[in-house]
Amino acid sequence: MSPVDLLLITWNRREYVEKTLENLLAGDANFRLHCWDNNSQDGTADIIASLDDPRIVKKNFSTENVKQRTPTLWFFKQSKSDLVGKIDDDILLPDDWISKIAPIVCNNENAGMLGCWIFMEDDWNESLAEHKFVRLGEYDVFQNMWIAGQSFLARKEILLKYIHPENYVYGFPVD
């Protein structure tokens, strides 16, 4: 499978982004990372600038905080993969999240966007969740239409159908 293109947008989150990037880059997942800093003044931009990993393919340092829309549109122009995703700057993801999610998204037309469960294990209640599982091919997937935009993968062509540059004010269409 070709590398997944990922976007990380940050602004003044040095303590978080440092841990997030260290965790992400410690693994051996197959991705290309595009980093966008929204004019951080707390050292966040310095951390991104100092990163030296071949999986980091683009770094953009904005002169103002342009929020989510501009970096997202920039990312779609830069990305080369059919499978794209976003990670927030304050998430510690398991090393195997891409290898678990990517095949489901790639092999199932009904999988628009799949993300990670980022909450504490104690927050999971199997009996409350069991009615929300759907079968996608050989995979059981927890279906939740109201995810946060913290970590997910999707086919680029699907996401582009829902972003209209002339009137879309947010980043990825996570609903």
Per-residue confidence (pLDDT) for residue 154, from 0 to 100: 92
CATH code for the domain in which residue 158 is found: 3.90.550.10
Instruction: Please tell me the predicted confidence (pLDDT) of residue 148.
Output: 60
> What pLDDT, on a 0 to 100 scale, did the predictor assign at position 162?
77
- Does some domain include residue 138? yes
Residue 175 has pLDDT above 70, yes or no: no
Residue 140 lies in a domain: yes
Domain count, the chain: 1
Q: Report how far residue 29's alpha carbon sits from residue 170's, in angstroms, rounded to the nearest whole number.
A: 28
In a domain, residue 80? The reply is: yes
For 55, 64, 99, 130, the CA distances from 4, given in Å and listed in that order, are: 10, 28, 10, 30
Contact 111, 134 (CB under 8 A): no
Query: Is 46 inside any structural domain?
Result: yes
pTM for this entry: 0.90
Rg over alpha carbons for the chain, rounded to the nearest Å, is 16
In a domain, 171, yes or no: no
DSSP 131: G
Q: Is residue 8 a part of any domain in this protein? A: yes
How far lies 93's CA from each of 64, 81, 116, 126, 145, in Å? 28, 21, 8, 21, 20
Is 137 domain-assigned? Answer: yes
Give the tens place of pLDDT for each residue, 71-106. Answer: 999 999 999 999 999 999 998 998 899 999 999 999
Look at residue 120 in the predicted model and tell me its pLDDT.
Answer: 79
Q: What is the mean pLDDT of the chain?
A: 89
Average pLDDT over residues 48-60: 97
pLDDT of residue 123: 85
Strands 83-87, 56-61: pairing is unpaired
Whether 70 is in a domain gets the answer yes
pLDDT of residue 109: 84
The answer to whether residue 20 scores a pLDDT higher than 90 is: yes
Q: Which domain holds residue 104?
A: 4-162
